[in-house]
């Protein structure tokens, strides 16, 4: 839409925007709704979990189960601990979302009551530098949540089996392209083995569906749109607060889950 495309013009008339938003906030509801009609900016509105305690508890259980699965992969255990940590840091979010799909965890969200741009500017002017806490994150946007929901729906439409989920997780886990890895050839071989095992399983179990292997690889490609920061903000901040996922993953990886 025009209001999304002309960002530079928006920046040059900031005062006008703030003034119009202030007026709209005081005006009747129908007028505000009309302003956003037909605008793709709706995907940028902020949302939160409808029942955060329930969803976050489910996600935490899935994360524990996921890391337990990872720890029980013998070839993963043969890697040095620092290599293990590099892999897990990179893939914990897509592995978690795969686990959510496997456990059939549904996400119900509501629009978040995030302060408007005008409120944030006025608050910052009043309280100075302390108005924005260091490391504070914005609630996820509707578009980001929709990407997660779309991924879950795709998995459920394919009715992915337990073995297929395991091979998909192996493909995601053993990523040889990450910086900081030393055993790249070994890890690349493990990823190739996971893909071959998935292909053979599909050919054996789904002989009538020649395109299923390609469909499952589309699932893997969709995982690239999943942002780890969004997952942490959505499932862990509501119950834990500001959390360093690297520290938590290291602690969980070294623990006997």
For residue 55, the model assigns a pLDDT of 85
Residue 212 placed within a domain: yes
Q: How many CB atoms lie within 10 A of CB 171?
A: 22
Whole-angstrom Cα distance, residue 191 to residue 210? 22
For residue 134, the model assigns a pLDDT of 38
Domain assignment of residue 166, given as a range: 45-116+138-255
For residue 62, the model assigns a pLDDT of 95
Q: Residue for token digits 């956003």?
A: 36
Residue 22 placed within a domain: no
Tens digit of each residue's pLDDT, the chain (257 residues): 544 444 444 444 333 433 444 444 444 444 444 444 444 445 567 767 777 778 888 999 999 999 999 999 999 999 999 999 999 999 999 999 999 999 999 888 777 655 555 545 554 544 444 443 334 456 778 788 888 999 999 999 999 999 999 999 999 999 999 998 999 999 999 999 999 999 999 999 998 898 999 999 999 999 988 889 889 888 887 767 666 787 788 788 777 65
What's the CATH code of the domain at 112? 1.10.565.10
Residue 30 placed within a domain: no
Q: For 202, list phi and psi in degrees, rounded to 5.
A: -65, -45
Whole-angstrom Cα distance, residue 105 to residue 136? 27
Q: Is 49 helix (H, G, I), strand (E, B) or coil?
A: strand
Q: How many CA atoms lie within 13 A of 107 on its CB side?
A: 24
Residue 15 placed within a domain: no
Residue 131 Cα to chain centre, angstroms: 27
Residue 67 placed within a domain: yes
For residue 118, the model assigns a pLDDT of 53
Q: Residue for token digits 């690297």?
A: 246
Quote the pTM value: 0.71
CB 3 within 8 A of CB 10: yes
Whole-angstrom Cα distance, residue 143 to residue 116? 18
Q: Is 104 helix (H, G, I), strand (E, B) or coil?
A: coil
Residue 39 placed within a domain: no
Whole-angstrom Cα distance, residue 171 to residue 195? 6
**Domain count for the chain:** 1
Residue 4 placed within a domain: no
Residue 10 placed within a domain: no
């Amino acid at each position: 839409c025009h209001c999304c495309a002309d960002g530079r013009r928006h920046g040059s008339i900031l005062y006008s925007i703030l003034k119009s938003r202030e007026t709209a906030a005081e005006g009747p509801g129908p007028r505000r709704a009309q302003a956003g009609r037909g605008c793709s900016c709706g995907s940028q509105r902020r949302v939160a979990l409808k029942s955060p305690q329930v969803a976050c508890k489910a996600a935490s259980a899935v994360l524990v189960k996921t890391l337990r699965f990872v720890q029980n992969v013998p070839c993963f255990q043969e890697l040095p601990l620092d290599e293990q940590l590099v892999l897990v840091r990179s893939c914990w979010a897509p592995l978690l979302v795969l686990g959510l799909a496997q456990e059939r965890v549904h996400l119900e969200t509501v629009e978040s009551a995030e302060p408007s741009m005008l409120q944030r500017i006025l608050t910052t002017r009043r309280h100075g530098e302390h108005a924005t806490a260091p490391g504070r994150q914005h609630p996820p946007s509707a578009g980001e949540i929709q990407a997660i929901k779309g991924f879950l729906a795709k998995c459920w439409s394919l009715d992915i089996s337990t073995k297929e989920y395991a091979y998909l997780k192996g493909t995601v886990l053993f990523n040889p392209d990450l910086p900081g890895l030393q055993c790249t050839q070994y890890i690349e071989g493990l990823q190739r083995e996971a893909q071959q095992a998935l292909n053979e399983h599909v050919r054996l179990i789904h002989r009538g569906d020649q395109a299923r292997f390609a469909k499952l690889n589309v699932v893997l490609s969709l995982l690239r749109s999943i942002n780890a920061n969004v997952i942490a903000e959505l499932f862990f901040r509501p119950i834990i607060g500001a959390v360093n996922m690297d520290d938590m993953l290291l602690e969980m990886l070294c623990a006997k889950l």
